[in-house]
Chain A
Amino acid sequence: MAEAAFAASVLPNRSSPAADSPARRMLRRVVRRKSAVLGLLVIALFVALALLAPLVSPYVPTAQDWSAVRKAPSAVHWFGTDDVGRDILSRVIYGARASLLAGVVSVAIAIAFGVPFGIMAGYLGGFFDALISRITDAMLACPFLILAIALAAFLGPSLTNAMIAIGITTTPIFVRLTRAQVMAVKVEDYVEAARAVGNPHWRIALVHILPNVLPTLIVQATLAIAAAIIAEAALSFLGLGQQPPAPSWGSMLNSAQRFLVNEPWMAVWPGLAIFLTVLSFNLVGDGLRDALDPRER
């Protein structure tokens, strides 16, 4: 009896091993942050709107109504109408698709290229590391949006090319971050142990190192999505992203600029949508970062 009580007091609770897993603990810390939860809720709302756009938007986003040109917000058109009578609320809802898609796809491109190169540079070191690092330095030397504009210009204006351009310009950030994290992790005892028992390099990198750098990458990815959404809106604002008449928050702001004096609502809603989405991703990113910070525990 006494033995059982002793075992229960010193041994971990095997009945619920997941209850104390690092991922669970991190999730609990994130959930405790109200701002991060609020950010998650707003993101969920925009994702739902983007997915259910045909069901929830009151009008077809490209349908023009010449009898309702530049109408102020009303019960019929909650966010008003634009210069060719299109419903702004419907265009904001459909615009979420372009922005969220651009944010996620361009960051996925950056991760797909940046993380493997970062792991190889950090793990292998030597000449390969020096080569990757200098290329990364060179890419980071070109200002993000200027390089994205140049790439989008040479590739041709379209949402796909804008996503590729943003993805390429975001890649060096992930290379540098992954490399630094891998260099810190690869000297840990458990990596040494994995090497000592004869694991091949690819297995050490993928099974023992990658899971330990993943939390930092998730934080960076969240913040990078926020930056990518702004970049897509900027490229669309300049006419290098989503092409009209397809709705995009950036291109909506571009056309709204011409009617600012008498129809300011045309500029308010798409801008507010960009701001709220980016703010939400930043709140979640900050929350995740704080949750991972050992000083905050």
Chain B
Amino acid sequence: MLTFLGHRLVQLVPTLFFVSVIIFSLQQLLPGDPALVMAGEERDPAVLEQIRRQYHLDQPRPVQYVYWVKGVLTGNLGESMRIKQPVLDLILEKLPVTIQLATMAILIALLIGVSAGIVSAVKKDTVWDYGANAFALWGISTPNFWLGIMLIFLFSVKLGWLPASGYVRLSEDWRASLIATIMPAFVLGNAIAAILMRHTRSAMLQVLESDYVRTARAKGLLERTVILKHAMRNALTPVVTLGALEFGTLLSGAVLTEQIFSIPGFGKLIVDAVFNRDYAVVQGVVLVTATTYVVLNLIADVTYILINPRLRS
């Protein structure tokens, strides 16, 4: 186990190195002089010179990269040009909002996706199976920003049951917070529920054909016990770890969901930064999401081994 962990940690180093190179390279895509872009309306040569010195733009690219990495390693992701606040502080301020939304979304996805997957596998080739497969196809094919707009029309405009936009912190009023985030969380979790449904179905079908399930049935156990106690536990092992790997999908979805529902989270931060040409914030957001994804990937691998006795040895 320790050897595996060590091996995976060593593998992380080059991956994170290339992540940093990709994110640093983004800045190089800016057409023209980056100092001019950073200066905005300002055209004073002295100011431009000062920007070049401050951001080491007068140095060769590899030197600029080393300075940037040094900053990142010490927690300095740069400063937002628009808000004049450290990027890391901005990210830390917005992150809890997105974490709440993402957690609710993944819970909704697990609830819908896993249940639909189990029913679909157990009732294979019945109307339940076709219905669950149709749901999965619908979930994968529906753009979440359209689903969000349609749900706002139905539940906010027509029925008036839920707020169309806005966010209340959990610490302020948990009930209002849940009401405000339930619709965006469903929108965000919908596509992941579809993916989880397909994986659960396929894993359950495989497990249901295995010898130990046949033995459990032969012993005369109730079908419910066979499915819930014997089959489901083994089928869900890869599915639960898959939840961690869907983190990237969640964050991508959060960008649009937060935009539609005006939720001041991580996704809205990057969109606002893009339109205000606040490139340090864009780089910071990509860096934090990529690093979190890499770490979650590692945790998922380790968890998979920990909960699977055959792999532990």
Contacts and interface: CB of A to CB of B under 8 A. Distances in A.
Given A146-B255, A146-B285, A154 B248 contact: no
Interface stretch (A2-10, A182-190, A275-283): A275-283
A261 interface: yes
Contacts of B247: 143
Contacts of A271: 143, 146, 149-150
Nearest to B30: A154
A234 B274 CA distance: 14
Contacts of A159: none
A35 B31 CA distance: 46
B249 A143 contact: yes
Interface stretch (B113-121, B176-184, B230-238, B287-295): B287-295
Interface string B130-172: 0000000110111101100110110001000000000000000
B275 A239 contact: yes
Given A142-B289, A143-B252, A253 B137 contact: no
- Chain A interface mostly helix, strand, loop or mixed? helix
Given A138-B15, A142-B19, A146-B270, A282 B137 contact: yes
Contacts of A140: 248
Nearest to A168: B22
Contacts of A146: 251-252, 255, 270, 285-286, 289
Nearest to A145: B252
A93 to B, nearest CB: 18
B128 to A, nearest CB: 18
Q: How large is the interface on A (under 10, 10 to 19, 20 to 34, 35 or more residues)?
A: 35 or more
B207 interface: no
Interface string A114-157: 00000000000000001000110111111111110111111110
B227 interface: no
Contacts of A147: 22, 286
A149 B255 contact: yes
Contacts of A283: 137
B259 interface: yes
B18 interface: yes
20 contacts: A135-B18, A137-B15, A141-B15, A142-B289, A143-B290, A146-B252, A146-B270, A146-B286, A150-B26, A150-B282, A151-B29, A153-B274, A155-B29, A230-B143, A234-B256, A238-B256, A239-B275, A271-B143, A282-B141, A283-B137
Q: Which 9 pairs of residues, A with B, have the shortest CB-CB distance?
A: A138-B18, A271-B146, A145-B252, A143-B248, A279-B141, A153-B274, A154-B29, A134-B14, A141-B290
Interface of A: 130, 134-135, 137-147, 149-156, 226, 230, 233-234, 237-240, 250, 253, 256-257, 260-261, 264, 267-268, 270-271, 274-275, 278-279, 282-283, 286
